[in-house]
A and B are shown apart, each in its own frame.
Chain A
Amino acid sequence: MATRYFGVAMKRREDPRFITGRGTYVDDLTLPGLVYAAMVRSPHAHARIRAIHKEKALQHPGVIAVFTGKDMVDSGVKSLPCGWLLPGMKLPPHYPMAVDKVRHMGEIVAVVIAEDRYTAEDAAELVEVEYEPLPAVADGAKALQPGAPAVHDEAPDNVCFRWSIGDREKTDEAFRRAHRTVKVELVNQRLIPNAIEPRAAMAQYNPATDEYTLWVTSQNPHVHRLLMAAFVLGIPEHKLRVISPDVGGGFGSKIFLYPEETIVTWAARQVGRPVKWTARRRESFVSDAHGRDHITEAELAVDEKGKILGMRVKTIANLGAYLSTFAPAIPTYLYGTLLSGQYEIPTIYCEVTGVFTHTTPVDAYRGAGRPEATYVVERLMDLMARELGEDPAEFRRKNFIPPDKFPYQTPVALQYDSGNYEGALNKALEAIRYKELRRQQEELRKQGRYIGIGFSCYIEACGIAPSQVVGSLGAQAGLWESALVRVHPTGKVTVYTGSHTHGQGHETAFAQIVADELGIPIEDVEIVHGDTGSVPFGMGTYGSRSAPVGGSAIVLSLQKIKEKARKIAAYLLEAAEEDVVFEDGKFYVKGVPDRFKTFQEVALQAYLAHNYPPGLEPGLEASSFYDPKNFTFPFGTHICVVEVDPETGKVKILRYVAVDDAGRIINPLIAEGQVHGGIAQGIGQALLEGAIYDENAQLLSASLLDYALPRADDLPPFEIDHTVTPCPHNPLGVKGIGETGTIAATAAAVNAVMDALAPFGIRHIDMPLTPEKIWRAIQAARAA
């Protein structure tokens, strides 16, 4: 079949509504009788709630109701669940509103419902809460010290879990016989996701049908519905419809079931009117799940030839005050399993301690565990290359898993299905003109100018995930995806996908797959997502799974459609089914292409069912649930070139080259866009972003005034290229591309700055690499 759409850099079909201001985000919606919720949030990081006085707020004109955590719990509301359990893990309750104690700044203690949003916010200030402040701790390492204030009685030492992977003895032995070892202590700082659309929720309860409808900023509306209905509010699942319309970016932060949407859904029934809440940005900062926050000690051992013998990693992962939906999975199975990177490492041992602190919960943020792992691996590779006096590219090359060793079993559980790491490295080196660049670097150093070249040869495991595998690792749900393809009598097609697009362009990319498979114009294909009322149960979009898992589910359904359509066509053509060929939207008898039935004719006959194969059901639709056989393993090499001004410490990115292998590319325009955005967030972490808590666990970087997101003039243009190693186990040969940039870029940028600072003998500076930190390091180095 001729490919007409797959692989074409098509303009996006969703764009016309966005560029004309006609997108529909949750806060754009309204309903008759709509009222607004404002959350009363704790200023304290840790305090006992002595009393909450609602009277003044209730007296305020326009206020309809004020509810507290006790009101919710008294009415039977349960704790927000955690969707990933580890053996021996502590799981303290997490109510939508605090009941007896608050455990992080910004935790909700009451909600005010009022006629308009201004009144709700005014009245929220009138709710009087009597607190007894208690000591608090924000830092993961400090929380583990004896005598640190305990976040939960259930975990007096603040340890949520201790987890390990790999062979400890074998690894210790490798270090004992090592020729050289390097060790580094590094902090992967806490990030705040900051999707530009703040989270929002609007809920309606219809007493006539006993049905709830919730519009919410969600990457996975079915997951929201299941968790909220079955675990928290006790609503029958079929009586709760969850709609996630246009969503303004997620990056992980809109996966989780949060208190706010639970509160408005519950409150809509209490007040008998639809209720809307939209986060102020200052609420996003303290209530959206944060990302990263690791303190790590990592070591690498090599033999006389510079071949890696082993790796040892010890990490403290700060989980925040409560366990967010997928929190335990991120610093364990999405982190420890990635520590082999692109390298042949005979043995690895990694130990992770998950810690409660008096901070906002931490969960998946773009990359989720894999950027943290890549940062550890790629910093170690650079440090070792420097230790051995070897070129960082060549040191990596020497230790790559060679292409003939796939499938490759790592010592940390994953089996890589495919890879050609040298191919990507070579392409990137060529693009950057590496040798010439090193010469330039040398010359410029003589003039007192400090250029640095940083590598990141990353691997990612995405397209999560085989249900059996993740189930055995603690996931409380399988991670398959669904697709329902409905062919209408005129041959137009509606696809209902369990994936959710919040910027990724599914309405275009998925339609490209469908139009090709069915040989119909793309205009005849509609992609529907984000509504539990019409879409079959789906797991949603995260972990770069939409194309490999969601896209594959669509392909399965299309195959079923084509099989049935072939039966109908064979009947119409009076031919044997096996003799009928389907090509370019036409069914014909092998060898007689002039005698054909179009896909549209067959579709019509499927519904008219007049001239129809006996015993075959009318209609033409199919649904599938695709459970992937393995993760997909995108990989690549990113090279960042920077110049550091030694007088100010300022970093300027001169060039950024990314060569990624995400298998077959459905739409290069969209794929490149995903890489660009990922790189921006990765560079953001390396140079700019970071959550700061003070000693009382007060978040100081709590607005865009104090939290530095990358701006247009902080970033360079990106030079993007690909290699193509198709994924061998899914029908499209695709891998995920949504997170590669973030996974790779952080290490590339930091390695570049450290390379620039090498003449000063500076070995490591923790992120973000602000001018002040770099300047101080240079001053200290000059003084020494």
Chain B
Amino acid sequence: MFETLRLSDLGEGESAYVKEVSARPGMDRRLTDLGLVPGTRVTCVLKSPAGDPRAYWIRGALIALRGSDAGGVRVERRLETVPAGVAVL
């Protein structure tokens, strides 16, 4: 079971794995610098009051991204591999 969606579509508490980073030029490199490369596990941890930006847990750090930037990251949810308890993070 696979489901591909944009990083910005992840709801609070949901996790997924990065499939492809194709953000705006400049931003894609910056996301790579933060460790956001294909295969990385990301969790959407916080939503700001307006719902955008959101904060994501990326390799041990909490990083806030605007929807326009997170939208350029395709993520893949392997539904059966995400254990139930992890979403609390």
Asked if chains A and B come from one complex, the reply is no
